[in-house]
Copies of this chain bind each other. A is one copy, B any other.
Amino acid sequence: MKRFARPNIAEMQGYSPGEQLQDQNTVKLNTNENPHPPSPAVEAALAAVDTAKLRTYPQPTADHLRDAVAEHHALARDNVVMTHGGDEALRLAITTFIAQDQAFGMAEPSYSLYPVLAQIHDAPVIRVPLDDQWAMPASTAETLNSAGAALTCIVNPHAPSGKLISTQQLSVLARQLDGLLLIDEAYADFVEPKMNYNSSQLIKEHDNVLILRTFSKGYSLAGLRLGYLLGPAALIDPILRKTRDSYNIDYLSQQLGAAALLDQDYAASTWADVRTQRKRLMMRLQELGFTAPDSQANFLLATMPSSTPMSARELYLYLKEHQILVRFFDTPRLQNKLRISIGTAQQNDRLIDALVAVLPK
């Protein structure tokens, strides 16, 4: 039989998303969703939708959302392009900026979708191994530049560890890099406010920085598929006018996204609760013998206690049997670890109870 797929597509493996069980009794701590429902303002916006409006094409560039996002970050409309989830933002950055014979750069380990998107684009992937503390080596820029990385994606706070690097460190990296630096801030809403993390200034200081944000986690809207890129107008413009699908943001996302963004009080209250629960869960895990370093994201990366003969994979399967989903990554460096999304107090308690039952006293 004739093969039609491109060679790079035929050879690659697809991305494996975390399990999306719809069972109501399952405690789902595997794909980093916000444990709280969307803002009541989203429900009101949905109720106010005139279905007849779905008949026509949406405003092509979602300009009222771009304006709301720009105001939120003290930037201009030209610094914003809305995307169909953060995943589309990553794909568009790769499509727009990585030419033939140029490479894609990333830290290892990191978001496992990155290399998949690079493979679809047929771009070589340059992986910079993080050290034992999940920090980037001093030689990072040198490695990426010499390999011809046109675009490097750094997720901050880091996934799967939750470690935050400072805007100062990002600024140094941006200056050193020959190519673009995309800072994937999928989890930035969960950073402790006292850390004063705010990277949007970077796009005024550098011509090669893009920042990715998503409504999936911070605004409890993973089901909606809405995200955006911030950047200098010269970087946003070709995405907005050329590489983006012409009507990439549907009418409902434009309405509901704006409602969610404007209700900052509600969103901030969910972030505060996640931080409280994160601290509490971290302490309980440590009491049970796990190593679970400080995280600025809405998940913890827990290393198995030395007191148990169980492997991380075995514990993952045990929890799954007990209707608790966490994420196990079958890679050498993450072999003895589980990534656990922060749930509600009740969900976290169910996890802890299940762990207490199976781990040695």
A interface list, Cβ under 8 A from B: 1-2, 4-7, 9-10, 12-15, 17-18, 20, 22, 28, 31, 33-38, 42-43, 46-47, 49, 51-60, 84-85, 87-88, 91, 95-100, 113, 116, 120, 122, 150, 179-180, 207-208, 216, 220-225, 234-235, 238, 241-243, 245-248, 250-253, 256
Contacts and interface: CB of A to CB of B under 8 A. Distances in A.
Nearest to A22: B59
Nearest to A208: B4
A28 B55 CA distance: 11
A271 to B, nearest CB: 14
Given A4-B235, A84-B84, A252-B252, A54 B120 contact: no
A42 B51 contact: yes
- For chain A, what secondary structure do more than half of its interface residues adopt (helix, strand, loop), or is it mixed? loop
A22 B56 CA distance: 9
Contact of A252 (B9, B17, B220, B224): B224
A192 B15 CA distance: 42
A22 to B, nearest CB: 7
Given A4-B208, A238-B10, A246 B57 contact: no
B60 A9 contact: no
Q: Which has the most chain B C-beta neighbours within 10 Å: A1, A5, A28, A245?
A: A245
A189 to B, nearest CB: 14
A12 B96 CA distance: 12
Given A33-B55, A225-B247, 6 more contacts: A7-B99, A20-B57, A33-B57, A54-B221, A57-B223, A87-B246
14 contacts: A4-B97, A9-B95, A13-B242, A17-B246, A18-B57, A34-B55, A37-B55, A46-B51, A54-B222, A54-B224, A55-B220, A57-B223, A87-B245, A252-B252
A236 B357 CA distance: 45
Contacts of A36: 55
Contacts of A87: 245-247
Given A223-B250, A224-B251, A4 B57 contact: no
Nearest to A54: B223
A336 to B, nearest CB: 27
Contacts of A120: 95, 242-243
- Which are the 3 A-B pairs with shortest beta-carbon distances? A223-B251, A54-B223, A14-B241
A85 B85 CA distance: 15
Contacts of A234: 1, 4
A207 B28 CA distance: 41
A95 to B, nearest CB: 7
A250 B225 contact: yes
A134 B38 CA distance: 51
Contacts of A5: 96-97, 238
Nearest to A120: B243
A175 B242 CA distance: 34
B223 A53 contact: yes
A116 B58 CA distance: 20
